[in-house]
């Protein structure tokens, strides 16, 4: 879970940014986020609220989002923004470590 790991990394003092691709962008829909309760982990909605409170940037691939009906209003729920290849590359260049899940 990028959100759980992002939260843990932030707690450890690391600067974190999250870029969602493919099916992961669907997690930006509040109805989906509220329905995700992984076994042994807190509900996704709780973790997303922590991410938002910590102002960890979340980007959702714009093309992936459009293909799945994720809207700007969905992203606004989590102070997230649409991303694009240029933003994706800039985050890769910015990061000293990249974690994919």
pLDDT (tens digit per residue) in 35-88? 999 999 999 999 999 999 999 999 999 999 999 999 999 999 999 999 999 999
Contacts of 81 (CB under 8 A, 6+ apart): 57, 58, 59, 60, 75
CATH number where 56 lies = 3.40.1260.10
Domain count, the chain: 1
Residue 67 lies in a domain: yes
Residue 99 lies in a domain: no
The residue to which tokens 């003092």 are assigned: 13
Domain limits at 18?
A: 2-94
Q: Look at residue 88 in the predicted model and tell me its pLDDT.
A: 94
Q: Look at residue 100 in the predicted model and tell me its pLDDT.
A: 75
Q: pLDDT category, 101, cuts 50, 70, 90?
A: low
Closest residue by Cα to residue 92 from 21, 5, 11, 13: 21
The residue to which tokens 């709780």 are assigned: 46
Residue 100 lies in a domain: no
Residue 26 lies in a domain: yes
């Amino acid at each position: 879970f990028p959100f759980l790991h992002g939260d843990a990394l932030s707690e450890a003092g690391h600067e974190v940014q999250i870029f969602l691709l493919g099916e992961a962008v669907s997690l930006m829909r509040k109805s989906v986020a509220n329905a995700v309760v992984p076994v042994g982990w807190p509900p996704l909605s709780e973790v997303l609220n922590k991410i938002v409170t910590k102002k960890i940037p979340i980007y959702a691939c714009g093309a992936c989002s459009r293909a799945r009906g994720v809207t700007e209003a969905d992203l606004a729920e989590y102070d997230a923004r649409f991303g694009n290849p240029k933003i994706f590359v800039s985050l890769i260049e910015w990061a000293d470590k990249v974690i994919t899940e």
